[in-house]
Structure 1
Amino acid sequence: MKKKLAAFCLTTAILLTALAGCATATPAGPQVLKFGIAVPLSGPAAGWGIAIQEILQFRIDEINSAGGLTVDGQNYVWELVSYDSQYMPTETVTAVQRLLDSDQVHFVGILGAENLLPAQPLTEAAGAILWGWAAANQEYVGPEHPLTFMYAPDAELTAVVYEYLATYNGVRRVISLQPDDTVGQAHSEFANFAAPLAGVELVAEEFVDVRSVTDFYPVLTPLLDMELDLLDVSQCPPGVVGQIIAQARELGYAGPVYSAAADMPTLIEMAGWEALEGYYTIPYLTDLTPAQQEFQAGFIERYGEDHWVGSLAFTVYDTMTVFSEAIVGAQSLDTTEIAEYMADMTIESVWGAGGGYFTGSKYYGIDRIYMTPLPLGVARGGEMVQLAVLEYPSGILSDQ
């Protein structure tokens, strides 16, 4: 798919602001653009939610300190508004309603597909752009939902992970243990689509209530009695992944485990490095771009190393860059115009020049999945090691 580079980048916006200051007329003061998030700040997915909140605030402070963004001669700065969703659909809906009604936001971020689904009608009715940190599904991603975007390929990562592990680790038989909710079903749909393409068999699929269950021994015991090469828990929240890994090791399973978007501090706390041996995740990288190095150092200086969730931080960091470049590039605050511009742009990402773009039209009928490089990492000898940067197979999300 041929992408166009964003016509206006943030540095251009800053330059325009500076030039405007040289004009005779006194420019108006900056106005506020609000980005509202409903993420878990408590509960089993709090590691994700707190990280998202801190990373977004860090990036917003950078953008605002650099002059914000300029649209039609008016300067704007970002403000982050966040509420605790507790990783529960009802709490998420309440938070989103408050964001739209009381806080008057036009850009909303939600963690978790089960939480996103009931809130989506609210954002669509308000004409707000919805950014999901969640696994995509054709039920809520498609041409009929043009204002909904996903932060990255999520369930779709099975296509590259299964293929890599089948090729280099001899994985043939996979057991999937996922949340008993919308995100788990989204994963199941895509995993069953991707597994045959990778020459992998999904031997069994089980779904559990990740919001209340902490004892996974009853479900793990019969699963681990089967012959398997990989335990896929990719859509479970970090606290649950840590519990599952620890309990699976206690039951004698020594094989590889895979999950997406790892929150490493939580996993280390819940399972420990010995149990994490052979744990695979995307994204994980050690060969950082200069922009990634600068962001990581600044974030750790502000929040502490124990708040650094790993390479997932880079994808979250891009969120505000995407919105800012789209607004400046479209020279509009109309969310429909911004969404159309976003879908066709390639951004100056923290991953490097041209490091982020939207895809998905072949599978979802619309380009709404944010794609960046896909570095695969594994836990070995008490540390994470980057294995490879994977290429997403052509012909699945797009024809390229």
Structure 2
Amino acid sequence: MAPMRIRPGATVTAAACAGALLATSACGGGTGSGSDTIVIGYSGPLSGGAAVYGKNIQDGLQLAIDDLNERGVTVDGEEYRVELQSLDDQYAPDAAATNAQRLAEQDDAAVVFIPHAGGIQAAQELNSSRTEFLLGAYSSDPKIVEQGNELTMMIPPSFTSYAEPFVDKLTENGESKLGLLGTSSEYGQEWTKLVTEEWKSRGGQVLSDNSIDYATVSDFAGPVSRTLADNPDVIFLGGPSQPTAVIIEEARRQGYEGSFLVMDQAKFEEMEEFTEPENLNNAIGVKPVRDYDDPGTDDLLDAYAEKVTKKQPVTSEVALNYQSAAIVVTAMQQAGSIDDSAAIREAIPDAIGEVDEHFHVSGFPTEITDAGHLRNKDLEAAYRTPEGEYEYLPIEQPDE
């Protein structure tokens, strides 16, 4: 790959700037891009129904960049300042691919983060052929690493890791009937298929599928009522945290006393903000960030409250992208290059062991697989007991 030029004066759309954590650093205001600048690209939903999700990822990246700049970044003997360039794709795959190409070609981003499976797969059509860039892929869809794309770094655990231990936990007392109330998106249906197969493999009964579009439906009473009419022992559900919490609350209001199997998109710490926490009792899902004992977790919680908001919790969207930004910049240092995407990807295995512990916040990865998946060998899930206490369960991740 030929050396890439750093373009001065790079700008981003007004929509992206409006969603930035710090306007001067995220949108290029004040200092501009220069030959001493490392540009990290981000395409995500910064407006529309998924804007909160997109902003969480952007905040995680920006907080990491602030901390990296404070500590100083030197690559091959040269000092650099890291800058985040963000573009809004409104969760549309085609827009994400277009944005990624623009970020790589016009803004000289050797790394572009995208937080949705459709956009990631669209960008994979570009990043190893037409336009070369390392793709920071934030989605738990296993298809991302099944593509054989050599310039992909998949960030969160694959949701295939969760189905077996989640079902194991929620069938300990002989529960046999599973109700389906997940989101109807492609991601949700892949989860539904996985959980259905796992449940049936135990000899359990899978009831009617009442999946709904969490993004457009606001009255959940009907789907919940239809699900409860089959008298399930466990309800599988999940999508964004807010509607997931509302559905759980509606199920409790209608008298449901069973357990919930919550897909990884919804987060306990966020759901606690939208319903009485006791409604979440007897549910299994993703471990809250606040309960990790990684060296940098408390500092991240404090920085988020100070720089972003005290009104909402730090989620894994923030935390995992925070530490992933530090990984790719450290990989640049290991590779001795800010623009050779292949060399940066090749350096990630060594970089993982060199990242300052300050950036270890949420089950910091212990390896990157040959397929490009960041993984922590000590992955855990969270079970909220009937008494409202969190228990943590080890998760064995499948080979790739």
TM-score, normalized by length of structure 1? Answer: 0.76
Alignment deviations for residues 341-384 of structure 1 (CA, whole Å, 9 cap, x no partner)? 325764446448994134566xxxx242433643433556997x
Q: Who is 2:8 aligned against?
A: none
SS at match of 2:59: helix
Q: What residue is the counterpart of 1:338 in the other structure?
A: 344
Does residue 87 of the first structure (1) align with residue 96 of the second (2)? no
**Is the contact made by 1:376 and 1:386 (CA closer than 8 Å) also made in structure 2?**
no
What corresponds to 2:366 in structure 1? 357
Q: CA deviation at 1:264?
A: 5.3
Instruction: Give me the whole-angstrom Cα distance separating, in 2, the residues matched to 1:239 and 1:95.
Output: 28
1:386 aligns with 2:395: no
1:150-205 CA-partner distances (Å, limit 9, x unpaired): 211142222332233334x6554433433333322432454356546777665454
In structure 2, give the amino acid aligned to 1:56: L
- 2:167 is matched with 162
2:59–2:318 CA contact under 8 A, matched in 1: no
Aligned: 1:251 with 2:260: no
Q: Which residue of 2 aligns with 1:33?
A: 38
Cα distance in structure 2, aligned partners of 1:379 and 1:308: 18
- The residue correspondences of 1:98-117 to structure 2 (distance < 5 A) are 98-117=102-121
Aligned to 1:232: 236
SS in 1 for 2:72: coil
RCO comparison, higher one (Cα < 8 Å, 6+): 1
Partner of 1:51: 56
Alpha-carbon RMSD: 3.4
> Deviation of residue 133 (structure 1)?
1.8
**CA-CA distance at 1:318 after TM superposition:** 1.2
The CA deviation string for residues 118-168 of structure 1, in whole angstroms up to 9 with x for no partner, is 343233431112222212233x4235312222211142222332233334x
Partner residue in 2 for 1:316: 321
Amino acid at match of 2:341: T
Task: Return the offset for 1:65.
Answer: 1.0
Take 1:75 and 1:196, find their aligned partners in 2: how far apart are those partners?
Answer: 57
Check whether the contact 1:112–1:183 (CA below 8 A) recurs between aligned residues: no
| Residues 1:132 and 2:137 aligned together | yes
Whole-angstrom CA distance in 1 between matches of 2:361 and 2:55: 26
SS in 1 for 2:171: helix
Name the CA distance, whole Å, in 2 between partners of 1:56 and 1:134: 15
For residue 327 of structure 1, give the secondary structure of its aligned residue in structure 2.
helix
For residue 77 of structure 2, what is the amino acid of its counterpart? Answer: G
Percent same amino acid among aligned pairs?
A: 23
On the 8 A contact 1:109/1:133 being kept in 2, the answer is yes
The range that moved more, 373-382 or 330-339, is 373-382
Residues 107-116 or 374-383, more deviating: 374-383
Whole-angstrom CA distance in 2 between matches of 1:228 and 1:48: 31
| Maintained 8 Å contact 1:345/1:357 | no
- Name the SS of the counterpart of 1:186 in structure 2: helix
**What do residues 265-312 of structure 1 show as CA deviations (whole Å, max 9, x unaligned)?**
653443343433334321225252332122222222222322323455
Q: Flag the structure with higher strand content.
A: 1
* Structure-2 separation of matches of 1:260 and 1:344: 29
Partner SS for 2:235: strand
CA distance in 2, matches of 1:265, 1:127: 37
Separation in structure 1 between the aligned mates of residue 242 and residue 114 of structure 2, nearest angstrom: 19
In structure 2, what is the equivalent of residue 296 of structure 1?
Answer: 301
Write out aligned runs for 1:133-212 (5 A).
133-138=138-143, 140-142=144-146, 144-156=148-160, 157-167=162-172, 170-192=174-196, 194-195=198-199, 202-212=206-216
Whichever residue aligns with residue 300 of structure 1, its letter is A
Tell me which amino acid in the other structure corresponds to 2:216. Answer: S
C-alpha separation in 2, matches of 1:213 and 1:106: 39
User: Structure 1 96/287 Cα, relative in aligned 2: closer, same or farther at 3 Å?
Assistant: closer
With over 3 angstroms needed to count, the CA separation of the structure-2 counterparts of 1:263 and 1:85, relative to structure 1, is farther
How do 1:9-24 residues align onto structure 2 when only pairs under 5 Å count?
none
The 3 A distance-change label for structure 1 pair 107 and 223 is same
Structure 2 length-normalised TM: 0.76
SS of match in other structure, 2:399:
coil
**TM-aligned CA distance change 1:188 to 1:367, over 3 Å:** farther
Corresponding letter in the other structure for 2:342: T
Structure 1: where are the runs of 5+ without partners? 1-28
Q: Give the length in aligned residue pairs.
A: 359
Residues 1:293 and 1:303: Cα distance change in structure 2 (over 3 Å): same
Provide the rounded CA distance (Å) in 2 between the counterparts of 1:225 and 1:343. Answer: 51
- Whole-angstrom distance in 2 between the partners of 1:380 and 1:300: 28
Distance change >3 Å, CA 46–CA 272, structure 1 → 2: farther
Q: Answer with 176-185 or 49-58: which moved more.
A: 176-185
The answer (yes or no) to whether the contact 1:179–1:210 under 8 Å persists in 2 is yes
